[in-house]
Amino acid sequence: MTDKSAIITNKGVELEKLFMELREDGILHFTVKDNVDFYDTDIKKTNEVIKKLGGGKAFCNLITLASNTNYDKSAREYAASVESNIYTIADAMVTSNFAIKLMFNFYLNFNKPIKPTKLFLTEESAIKWLRKFNQE
């Protein structure tokens, strides 16, 4: 693993700002920790781990956002890019936080991610949407 701060357990991989696990249905679930700020370098580190875990395979991503998550401009720009989405089929973000919803809508309209990306209030609805892409 190129990221020395990654902790691998039988449940998944813990990084400084998030925990990721590969679900039995093939969806990669990210649980973002509370009170974190994401930068492009954080997303690049996460992609390195995904590359190692999946052997270069792309995944449908379920991303559960904490209430105090912030993505700076560099993170939003990089997250929407071709380079960042090499291991992504679709992204489903889950939050009920109003401020994060506003940030996400800005991201969708301004950064225009290249992969299907949608915001949900529940994990159940996000998983249902992602499963459509796993069947293709």
Handedness of CA 83, 125, 7, 38 (dihedral sign): positive
pLDDT of residue 104 exceeding 60, the answer is yes
What totals of helices (H) and strands (E) does the chain contain, helices first?
A: 4, 9
The pLDDT of residue 36 = 93
What is the chain's mean pLDDT, rounded? 89
Measured CA to CA, the distance from residue 129 to residue 136 in angstroms comes to 12
Higher pLDDT, 103 or 28: 28
User: What's the rounded mean pLDDT across residues 15-28?
Assistant: 94
Do 91 and 113 meet the contact criterion of CB atoms below 8 Å apart? yes
**Complete domains list, the chain, with CATH:** 7-134 (3.30.750.24)
* Torsion from C-alpha of 7, 12, 89, 106, nearest 10 degrees: -70
pLDDT given at position 4: 52
| Cα separation values, 127 from 11, 26, 81, Å | 19, 11, 23
